[in-house]
Structure formats: structure tokens, C-alpha cells
Structure 1
Amino acid sequence: MNSALKELLGLLDLEQIELDIFRGRSPEERIQRVFGGQVAAQALVAAGRTVPSDRMVHSLHAYFIRPGDPAIPIVYNVERIRDGRSFTTRRVVAVQHGKAIFTMSVSFHILEEGVSHQAVTMPRVPAPETLPTFQERMVNVVGDDPAWRDHLSRPRPVDARYVNALTWEAQKDPSLISAENHVWFRYDADLPDDPLLHVVLAAYASDFTLVDTVLLAHGLAWGSSNVRGASLDHAMWFHRPFRADDWLLYAQESPWSGGARGLARGEMFTPSGDLVVSVVQECMIRVSEDVMKS
């Protein structure tokens, strides 16, 4: 297990400061705002700490309200909405500086037998082992920039292998522009057999590339002086048990964008083709004059 994954697992081990109140911290990095996937994952951990272990997360619906401040802890207040015989509902509010920065509703369900079908099929893509790592792809993008090369040399908690072009590649080559974005990912370590942990890690990774999928459809890229983006809301449905330390294909697409917003949706498949997670997110995308006005 590399140091970045160890740090992430430490960030997910929230401190309980009172009944249904938890505190989380952020990485010690010089970043302007807290990564949205981190807040979603920590909120999910907080909710899960208040639910019996025989109930699994089956859905979450979240709103990113304000940017998170990485310099101070985040307090997660959990409200016990309902404890039924089959379903349990929790609401989590993340607070900093006395204001809500994030809210999430989470539903848990006991394991039940029922009708089953899967109409969608996994896209036919190269196996992850045949694809270069994110760092290897980025080296070709940044060239000899020493600052970027130092950044890319650091370990990452998630091993991501992109099937499609990176946004920076599509920005340079318009033939690579696409409204589809397929990414293999896994956490490269033997993780504990805790179902909640694997769901939480999938939630963390789910926020990495959805905004990228909207940018990719327009040949836009992060780091450009005229582009600004952020997640607005996020919804996930967990269909089957899975492991985040096995490869998952995150098949994403952006069906629409307009009015400074973009919609992206994704499906996570196991290598055998089982659909295990569905995701939908709306994001803010502001370009050129819109950025100047804000």
C-alpha cells in the first residue's frame, strides 16, 4: 500500500466528537478547495457509522453547496431520518465556518432476494493492464516542466487508466474530442473485507472524471485561464457488492451541457461485465467572459 492510499484511509477514519457528530480532516497539500470526492466519502462514512452493519448503502443524493476549506476540519452532522424494517435513511450536513458546505441523503437496505436483470452491457475496451498509467500519459502532456514532473512522481491513491483522451490531449488535438470518457480504476492494495469501505472508495473515485467528461466534449481542459468548473450535485446507486481493489470500468458520457452547466453520467462495471454502480452528476462549467464576470 503506497503512502497516498494510507493517507486516504486515514482521512476516512473520522473522529467521533459526539453522538452522530464526526470530524474529518483534509490532506496537507496547498490546494484551494477540498476535493468533492473526499467530502462525499467522509459524509458516507459518517452516515454508515450510525447504521447496523447488516444494511448496505444502495443510494445517495448529494449537493455541493460551498467550496471546502482544506485548512480546517470538516464537521459532519448526521440526522437519523428513519429506521425501518428493511430501509434506513440518514441525512448528513458537512459544516465549516458555521455554514453548510455539503449535504447528502443516504439510504441503506438489508439484503433481500428479488427479480434481477441487467439490460446494459459493458463497452468493449482494452484491458487495463494494456493501458498506460495516468502519470505516464501526463508525462507526454507536460513535457519537461520540472514542477509538473515532481507532482506526477508522487504516489496516487487510485490507479487510473484512461481509454479515451485526457482533456489536455483533446485540447491540443480536436480529433480526440468526445462526449464519452471510459476509465479503468482500482485501489492498488489488499483492502479489508468491509463492504462500506469499498462503497466509500467508489464514491471518492466517482468524482474524479465526471467534470472532465463534460470538458472533453468541448475540447476544454483544467488549468486553462478561461475555464472554471465545479461539481454541483451527485447521485449514486449501488446495485451489487464489489471490491474497489479490483479493476472497475467507469464508463461515462455527457449527454448535455448549456447555461454554464453540464450533465455527466457513468456506470461502473466489473471486468466480467457486471453493472455494480450508476452515477449522475451536474457540474458548473464557466468559460472565458463568464469567468471574468464571476
Structure 2
Amino acid sequence: MTEVLQKLIQLLDLEETRPDRFQGQSEDLGFKNVFGGQVLGQALMSACKTVEARSVHSLHGYFLRPGNPNEPIEYQVDRIRDGGSFTTRRVLALQAGKEIFTLNASFQVDEEGYSHQFEMPQTSEPDSLLSELEMRRKVVDFIPEKLREQATRDRPIEIRPVAPLNYFKPERREPFKQAWFRAVADLPDDDVLHRVLLAYASDFGLLGTSMLPHQVTYYTRSMQVASLDHAIWFHRPFRIDDWLLYDMDSPSASQGRGFNRGNIYNVKGELVASVCQEALIRKKT
């Protein structure tokens, strides 16, 4: 296992400070605030640590305040319900005594049932594409100097966009995009770990889908951009150390908000998870 992937796993594996209370450290990825996927993954991990013999099938989170990447985060888990088939947990994330994120997660015992899905869309094979990291390193001289180190360092999740975008000089596009992603090394057979890592990775790139028609990105100086909420539904078992296709679209943007959706498929064409997110995409005046 690579050092950067091991570091991410340690970041997501929280310390239990007292019953149903956990503490997580933060990582600076070069954003102004804590990366939303980190808080989402840590909150899910804290909920999973209070549940046995059941898998998370859905989660809904709200980002309440920006987090500080230089400070730890406390996660408080409430055991809302332990039913015959389903278990519900509520998680509150706090930093410096203030709520920054809240999560509701539902868990289910494994069972058989009816099965259908949308077909996986046609797309390029991952082996034919360059990773975001490879592309950044090829154009490192064009990246603003203050962003170069963060933009070109090794990553625990490899992302290969199907139609790469120049984030500093974006062209206008329809609100659709695709990317393959996977962990950069083999992982143990731990279903919780794979689902937590998918939650973490699901926040990469999704928000930007709603900005494609407007020729702006996170790096556009006039933009104020932030995730407002995030929801995931886990449909089928998967491994995040195998390639997964993230097929994203944005049906609507209005009133300073962009709505984004994503379907995640494995290489067999099985739909393993679905994601929705609303984001602030405000043009500052």
C-alpha cells in the first residue's frame, strides 16, 4: 500500500474519545477550508463504528459551516434506532465547539430482492486516459506558483477524466462529465473502508458539473463555491481499488445554487452507488 493511501486511511479511522464520541484530524488539500469529502467520510466512519452486521445503504449530509483544515473535528453519534432490518444514526461534527456538518445514515441487513438498473453509458476505457495528476505535472509551469505543490503531489485516489477541463481557462460545455477513479493500491476486504473511501472520493469534481455551462470553475476569482449538502445511496457491493466510472450531470442551476447528480458504475457495468449534491455557485459582486 502506498504511503499516501495509508495516510488517508489513518485520517478516516477515528479515535473514540468516549462512548459514541470520536475525534478526527484534518488535512489541508490546498482548499480554503476542509475538503467536504473528508468530513463526509469521517462522519460516516464514526456512524459505522456504532453499527454491527449491517451495511450503510444511504446517507444525507448538510455542510453548515466551513471547517478549518488545521484543527481536529469532533463527531458525536446519536443512536436513533436499531430496528429488525434497519439501523439509523445521526452524526454531528463540531469544530471549536461549533457545528460544521450533520449526517443522517441508514444501515440495513443484507437481503435478496428485486433488481434492475440503468445501463452503464458508453465511454472511454480508463487505460486510454491520463490521470489528473499526470496532466497537472505536464503543465506544471502554467499552474500558479502558490498552488503547484498541492496540485502536483501524490494522491491516494487516482482520477482519470474522460474529457479534461482546463480549470484556469475553462470553455463553455454542456452540464455532463465523466471520470474513472480508484484507490492507488490494493485494499483489504473491509466493506466499511470501501464505502467510506467512496464517500470521500464522491466529492471530487461533482460540484463543478453545474458550472460547466457558465464557463467558470472553483478557481475563477469572481466565484464563491461551496458544497451545501451531499447524499449517497449504495446499491451493490463494490471495491474502490478497482476502476469505477463516475457519470455526472447537472439538471439545473438557479438562485446561486447548482444541482449535481452522479451514477457510479464498476467495470462490469453494475450501478453500485448514486450521488446527489447541491452547491453554492455564487458570482461575487
- The CA deviation at 1:116 is 1.3
- The CA deviation at 1:158 is 0.7
- The CA deviation at 1:63 is 0.2
Once residues 68 and 51 of structure 1 are traced to their aligned partners in structure 2, the CA distance between those partners, rounded to angstroms, is 26
Alignment RMSD (CA, Å): 1.7
Q: Out of 272, 286, 291, which is 2:268 matched to?
A: 272
- The CA deviation at 1:230 is 0.5
Question: Who is 2:241 aligned against?
Answer: 245
Moved more, 83-92 or 2-11: 2-11
Once residues 258 and 248 of structure 1 are traced to their aligned partners in structure 2, the CA distance between those partners, rounded to angstroms, is 30
Once residues 280 and 142 of structure 2 are traced to their aligned partners in structure 1, the CA distance between those partners, rounded to angstroms, is 32
Structure 1 stretches of 4+ moved >6 Å: none
Q: Secondary structure at the match of 2:167?
A: helix
- The CA deviation at 1:216 is 1.8
Once residues 94 and 258 of structure 1 are traced to their aligned partners in structure 2, the CA distance between those partners, rounded to angstroms, is 29
Cα separation, partners in 2 of 1:268 and 1:140, compared to 1, 3 Å: same
TM superposition score normalised by structure 2: 0.95
Once residues 165 and 178 of structure 1 are traced to their aligned partners in structure 2, the CA distance between those partners, rounded to angstroms, is 13
Q: Secondary structure at the match of 2:51?
A: coil
Tell me if 1:189 matches 2:189: no
Once residues 74 and 142 of structure 2 are traced to their aligned partners in structure 1, the CA distance between those partners, rounded to angstroms, is 41
Q: Secondary structure at the match of 1:217?
A: helix
Question: Who is 1:49 aligned against?
Answer: 49
Q: Secondary structure at the match of 1:272?
A: coil
Cα separation, partners in 2 of 1:251 and 1:196, compared to 1, 3 Å: same
Cα separation, partners in 2 of 1:233 and 1:155, compared to 1, 3 Å: same
Cα separation, partners in 2 of 1:229 and 1:31, compared to 1, 3 Å: closer
Once residues 119 and 139 of structure 2 are traced to their aligned partners in structure 1, the CA distance between those partners, rounded to angstroms, is 32
Question: Who is 2:23 aligned against?
Answer: 23
Contact 1:2 1:155 in 2 (8 A): no
Paired amino acid for 1:96: Q
User: Runs of 5+ in structure 2 lacking a partner?
Assistant: none
Contact 1:141 1:168 in 2 (8 A): no
- The CA deviation at 1:138 is 2.8
Paired amino acid for 1:124: Q
Paired amino acid for 1:89: T
Q: Secondary structure at the match of 1:115?
A: coil
Cα separation, partners in 2 of 1:144 and 1:32, compared to 1, 3 Å: closer
Cα separation, partners in 2 of 1:220 and 1:68, compared to 1, 3 Å: same
- The CA deviation at 1:143 is 3.8
Cα separation, partners in 2 of 1:146 and 1:65, compared to 1, 3 Å: closer
